[in-house]
A and B are shown apart, each in its own frame.
Chain A
Amino acid sequence: MSIHHRSRSRNVLRAGVIPAALLMLGVMVWQGSTAAFTATTGNTGNTWSAASLTLTNDGDVGTFQAGTTAIFATGGTSNISVPQKTNFLIPGQTGTKCITVKATGNVPGPVLFNVSNLVTTPAPDLTGSLTVNVQYGPTAAASDAAAHLACDNWIKSVAPLSAPASATTPATPTGVVAVASGVLSGLSTTGVSTGWTTAGTATGEWGLFLIQWTLNSGLGNTLQGGGAGAAFNWSQTVGT
């Protein structure tokens, strides 16, 4: 009796599929093992992350933000007795505020200061007649509140009438550095040294900046009704 013979090619397929599967399994295990263990020995898991530099300031109100509301503002109607309000200025008038800058980077670096966004309106332009004096005062304060209080106390020691009620003990920081001084239009719009180099403390370190303005005396009537404006900036750059 003769039976149907299974085709040779189908038999090859039947016989070959098992070693093919085993070969595939072996390759998969080999590749998976080398990828997971061998090829990576000693030199994987390297990561790079850029250092961070973060500056915030409290705008003289004790709450730290990257950008804060102007410390000198022309709000209100008539307030000669409140020097922080800067409307209806008369020649010789002066005002003082203190901004606390907080650095929370993780690398050390110098802090620079500049002014920007000069406003020369309403005409006539006052930026050439408004003298601004910026000073840096180091502080060993270890908290936002302590640094803010030190700032207020500095105002009280320099300009008692301008000091906010929160100021308790007048005190001028030791090691005060003159950062910028002159008429507003003459202040640097690119960063100048403040004398403050941060240590790179992630939990924060603080610098005090006293800003005084004076509308120059001896001005003629031509400046009546004039205006001026500016932004104060602190910056920190490390590396090239």
Chain B
Amino acid sequence: MIWDPGDNAAVQREAKWQRALPNDQLPDFVRDRLKAAGAGKVPWMSTMTPAELLLSQGLGVRPIAMVSGTCWYHYGWSWTNGHPEGWHIALERLRQEALAAGANAVVDVKMRTIEMHAEDSMDFTVVGTAVKIDGLPPSTDPVIATVSAVEFVRLLKEGIVPVGVAIGANYDWLDPFLVGNPVANFRWDTQPLGTLGDFWRRVRQRAAANLRTDVKRLGDGVLAHTYFGQLLRVKEDKQPVQYLGRFIILGTAVQCKARDNVIGHIQTVIDMRDDLSPLKDPESHSHSAYPVDNDKEGAI
């Protein structure tokens, strides 16, 4: 194994990255590696489990390579726009890699972020497994899906086509000059906080509406979505208290006709285990980089 190709090689490599990334291209060494994987000249690499491999084979779906896209994005100007932009750039880079690999789709796309703090910015990374489908030529626009390989195959089998990742986000400030302090009068009473509640609901609704718009670009609906929201109380020196709400939703867009392609027979089983059953395991693998339970101010 080559551990240290020397300073010169490292400099050349860096220069290739610098040329490639701003131009929506891949460095030649990445493209060549993926091309070789697509042509079957080097071993395929896949995040699939053996069970997923077995099921995919049955439908002629074959793994090619693990593909990825990264964008470290500064969203200080607009959180709402910044987060979808960051993910979209990362997804576009993943798509470039899928194209180089001659793939028809990328499955099991997961969102990741590195724990490294840099103010008002974060790592938007997507990784997944590029696959090809027997009998199909390489796609000019490979499908990108956050669902796992098994779910992807299951959807295809039912005639539902996953087509891409849809994103909706929104943030807003609740301005005390306009509405007064939304919490002050309610200190001792048990009652709904109307102003704050309405504000937070609007932020969520706008994010959902943005998701709907983004889905329209791709297909008929969205599945398997994951979301992240924060309602923050911000108190700056000598300023009235302000509230910041922000919300982002991500999911897999699908093309599917209503009341079409309903699955066939389902057998019901009673699992006789008393403790946690593998059939009831609540731990589905997460595709989100956002800490769903985390309401603290963080790197996001």
- A, B co-complexed: no
Q: B-side interface residues toward A, CB under 8 Å?
A: none
Q: A-side interface residues toward B, CB under 8 Å?
A: none
